[in-house]
């Protein structure tokens, strides 16, 4: 009976140690994956803003507006991920860029070339956040 209890305890200790050893690297991997997803979202939003700027240059205001709409959706998703990961400070830094994108979309709807300068400001803010997030 004591032998069976000893074997059972040894198996439980080995199982617990194996679980801790295996899961310790998983947490780091999960954090790295979440950071990569945020960077991917930010790059996608920046790409949409740059695409909108090209459309504005070509006087294609309809496509520019669609690119701005795409950028807003991706941008909100990135901000949500940053908030979920406890990076509220970086998420708040995205608010001015989102406001600039909204302004640029409204200007594009009025066929105003000033949308390009708003998009440039938003793009610069996004680039700054990407550099901050990438360095963490």
Residue 135 main-chain phi, psi, to 5 deg: -80, -5
Contact call for residues 46 and 126 (beta carbons, < 8 A): yes
Domain around 93: 41-136
- Chain-centroid distance of CA 100 in Å reads 18
In a domain, residue 11? The reply is no
- Pairwise pLDDT comparison (3 vs 35), residue with the higher score: 35
Based on the structure, what is the number of domains in the chain?
1
In a domain, residue 60? The reply is yes
CATH number of 63's domain: 1.20.120
* C-alpha dihedral (7, 8, 14, 15), degrees to nearest 10: 150
List the alpha helices (DSSP H) in 58-86: 61-84
pLDDT tens per residue, range 6-46: 777 777 777 766 666 666 666 777 888 888 898 999 999 99
């Amino acid at each position: 009976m004591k032998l069976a209890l000893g074997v059972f305890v040894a198996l439980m200790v080995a199982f617990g140690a194996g679980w801790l050893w295996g899961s310790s690297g998983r947490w780091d991997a999960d954090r790295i994956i979440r950071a990569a997803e945020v960077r991917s979202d930010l790059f996608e939003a920046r790409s949409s803003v740059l695409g909108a700027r090209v459309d504005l240059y070509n006087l294609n205001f309809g496509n520019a507006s669609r690119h701005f709409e795409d950028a807003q959706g991706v941008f909100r998703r990135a901000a949500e991920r940053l908030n979920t990961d406890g990076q509220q400070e970086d998420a708040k830094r995205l608010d001015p860029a989102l406001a600039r994108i909204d302004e640029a979309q409204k200007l594009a709807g009025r066929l105003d070339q000033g949308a390009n300068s708003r998009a440039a400001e938003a793009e610069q803010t996004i680039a700054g956040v990407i550099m901050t997030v990438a360095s963490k």
